[in-house]
Structure 1
Amino acid sequence: MGAQNAARDDEFRAFTGGAWARLLRTAYLLAGDRHGAEDLVQQALERAYVHWNKVRAADDPNAYVRRILVNEHARRWRRRRPAEYLVEAPPDRPARAGADPDDRAVLLAALADLPARQREAVVLRYWEDLSESQTAAAMGCSVGNVKSQAARGLAKLRESSSLDGLTTIGGSR
C-alpha cells in the first residue's frame, strides 16, 4: 500500500509541476492579483489531490482541474466580492512582442470590472483559447450561456472608456 501511495504522490507531483504555470496564469486573470491566484490554484490542486483517482481517470485531467479552478473561483466570488483589485506585479508570462505593458495593466483592470461569469467566459474563450464547448465544460454551463456571457463581457470591454487607447478588443476598435 505504501508503494502505491508513493507512486500516486509522484504522479500528482509530476502533474502539478506541468500544470502550475498554466493554472496560475488562468487564476491570475480570474482573481486579479497574484496572491489570490496562488491561493486559488492551491485550493484547486488540493481538491484535485483528494480526488486524484477520479482526476487522472478523466479524459483530460487538465480540463478537469481547470474546471475545479473555475468552480473554486465562483465559490469565492459568491462568498465575498472584493471591492477592488490591486496588482503588485505582472504575471510570470511576459507580454507578447510589441505589446505595451501599460495596455496590459489597463486590460487587466477592465477584466476585473466584469462580473465573475463574464470574466470567466472571456478569459477561458479568448485568453486561454478554449472552444465554446471546452469553456462550457470548465464553467459548468451550456454553450449558449458561454456565448451569451462572452458576448456581454466583450461588449462591456468595448464600451469601457479606459480601453479607448487599445487597438483591438474582440475584433473591433
Structure 2
Amino acid sequence: MILAFQQRHFERVVRAYSADMYRFAYWLCRDRFVAEDLVQEACVRAWSAWDKLRDKDNPKPWLLTILRNEHARIYERKQLDYADEAPEELEIAAEHSPIELHELEDTIGRLPLSLREPFLLQVLGGFACNEIAQMLDTTEGAVMVRLTRARQALRAELGATTGRKVKSS
C-alpha cells in the first residue's frame, strides 16, 4: 500500500518535471537522443533513491542534480574520437549570417560547462543563485561569478558574430 502511494507520487512528480528535465538535458548535451536517455537514467536513479529525498515538496532541484550527475557520467565513460585533418581541409564559413536561434544555441553550447550549467539552471530552470549553489555543491558567490562570466562571454561572442557591440544589461 505504501509502495503504491510512493510510486503514484513519483509518477506525478516525473510527469510534472519531465519537460524541464529534458530541456536541461538537451542544453547540456545538444543531442535529442542522448537527452532522452539522460532523462530516463535520471528517473531510474531518482526512483531508486526516492525514499532518501528530503524535500518532497520541491523535488525539481534534486531531479536536475541527478540529471546533471548522469550527464557527467557520460564523460567519465566516453572515449573521444578525433580526426587528424590538416587545417586547410576543414571547411570554414567565410561570413557570418545574422544571429538566429540556432546560432545563439551554438554560442551557449560553446560556453565551458562550468559556466553553461549555472546559466542554464537560471535561464531555463528559473532557479535562484542559492538554489543553483546547492545543486552544484558550491557557494552562492561562485555561482554569481560564473553567471557574470557566462553573460560576458555570450555578449563578447555575440558582438563578434554580428560585428556590432551588444548592449549590456
The two structures have a TM-score, normalised by structure 2, of 0.75
Root mean square deviation of aligned Cα: 3.0
4+ runs deviating over 6 angstroms: 166-169
In the alignment, does 2:59 pair up with 1:66? no
Displacement of 1:165? 4.0
What does the per-residue CA deviation read over 1:62-119, in whole Å, with 9 as the maximum and x for residues that have no partner? Answer: 1111121222223334544977xxxxxxxxxxxxxxxxxx722111111111111111
How is 1:75-90 mapped onto 2 (pairs within 5 angstroms)?
75-80=73-78
**Closer, same or farther: CA 167–75 of 1 in aligned 2, 3 Å:** farther
Question: What residue ranges of structure 1 are gaps of 5+ in the alignment?
Answer: 84-101
Of 103, 117, 120, which aligns to 1:120?
117
The two structures have a TM-score, normalised by structure 1, of 0.74
Question: What residue ranges of structure 2 are gaps of 5+ in the alignment?
Answer: 82-98
Give the residue type in structure 1 aligned to 2:61.
Answer: A
Point out the structure with max Rg over C-alpha. 2
Aligned length: 153
SS for the counterpart of 2:100 is helix
Of 29, 32, 38, which aligns to 2:30?
32
Displacement of 1:155? 2.0
Displacement of 1:41? 1.2
**Closer, same or farther: CA 72–49 of 1 in aligned 2, 3 Å:** same
What does the per-residue CA deviation read over 1:106-145, in whole Å, with 9 as the maximum and x for residues that have no partner? Answer: 1111111111111101111233221110111121211122
How is 1:115-154 mapped onto 2 (pairs within 5 angstroms)?
115-154=112-151
Whether the 8 Å CA contact 1:112–1:119 is kept in 2: the answer is yes
2:2 aligns to what?
4
